[in-house]
Chains A and B, each alone.
Chain A
């Protein structure tokens, strides 16, 4: 009985890309390497990359098949949330995985997401960098400090029910993603926070899986003063609207 159920599951992996010519090829290879015995499709939502990302995807389609790799581009950079909505429209699976294209999320964790969901029947499985078995590489002390401080603040104020709020490596039941994404208005990483907090408020069953996060953008500090302000505004917004 459970065998048959497993066979009917299909996972749509949505990857928004912008100038990820090399990384998208690597990610596709790694997904096919690690995700076995499971039906899946990769949906690449490219925002008109000038570096030829779409050409690389078309070549990958020749190698792996056009039914496994879907290229659904958009004319220009239109934002992450809308990229997911766009990808969702073309998703034929009953589960949706979202992940980054820059290899900070490693496809080798996909089987553990799938397994966790099958074991627990969760509506959402989110990757956490902060649990034992997970981890981060490439962050200096300042970055870790801000991350930890931000996390403690959000935990104290919002009681989100997950340890990693800003993570964007997640598995959703398709119906659940569709339900939440329509009520989310934030942008950037606050978007990811709003998604998981709204899901938590609605009572969806959320499980966590430890993942490792290798930050390859060394030196480019994505945490300036404006980011911190944006974060605080995001937390305040979530406090009042969820």
Chain B
């Protein structure tokens, strides 16, 4: 468990360009795909479509993440009010101290 964590943190922090990491993963996936084609463990008619499935899956995942994130987007309407109060308080204090910041 700890070794997996260390390996993972090394994966993230080693000085390899990030695009190389992505390419490496793609190459690994391609190798598996070609391997499947060669050995025909799964009927080849299915194997040819696997990359398409993967892309579609990735797309759906992305859309899902965007949708879920959008629904759960944290908002804070009360903060705008609190800010207005803070502004009034600040303006009063600063006026007292003679700071002239002009009209806004």
Contact = CB atoms under 8 A, between A and B. Distances in A.
B99 A137 contact: no
A106 B70 CA distance: 24
A49 interface: no
Interface in B73-104: 73-77, 79-80, 83, 86-87, 89-91, 93-94, 97-102, 104
Given A25-B90, A129-B74, A201-B13, A239 B22 contact: yes
B43 interface: no
Interface stretch (A88-96, A153-161, A187-195): A153-161
B12 A200 contact: yes
A203 B74 CA distance: 29
B65 A152 contact: yes
A214 interface: yes
B80 A60 contact: no
Nearest to B15: A201
B22 A26 contact: no
A52 B69 contact: no
A223 interface: no
Given A29-B93, A201-B15, A240-B19, A59 B99 contact: yes
Interface size class for chain B?
A: 35 or more
Contacts of B74: 129-136
B53 to A, nearest CB: 18
A1 to B, nearest CB: 29
A127 B90 CA distance: 24
Interface residues of A, number: 49
B98 A26 contact: no
B91 A26 contact: yes
Given A145-B70, A148-B70, A240-B19, A29 B90 contact: yes
Contacts of A216: 83
Interface in A170-214: 200-203, 212, 214
B90 A26 contact: yes
Interface in B15-59: 15, 17-19, 22
Given A56-B99, A158-B18, A242-B18, A144 B80 contact: no
13 contacts: A22-B101, A59-B98, A63-B98, A106-B83, A131-B74, A135-B74, A144-B70, A148-B73, A156-B62, A161-B12, A201-B12, A201-B13, A212-B76
Given A103-B83, A137-B75, A145-B66, 6 more contacts: A26-B90, A56-B100, A103-B87, A138-B80, A214-B76, A239-B22
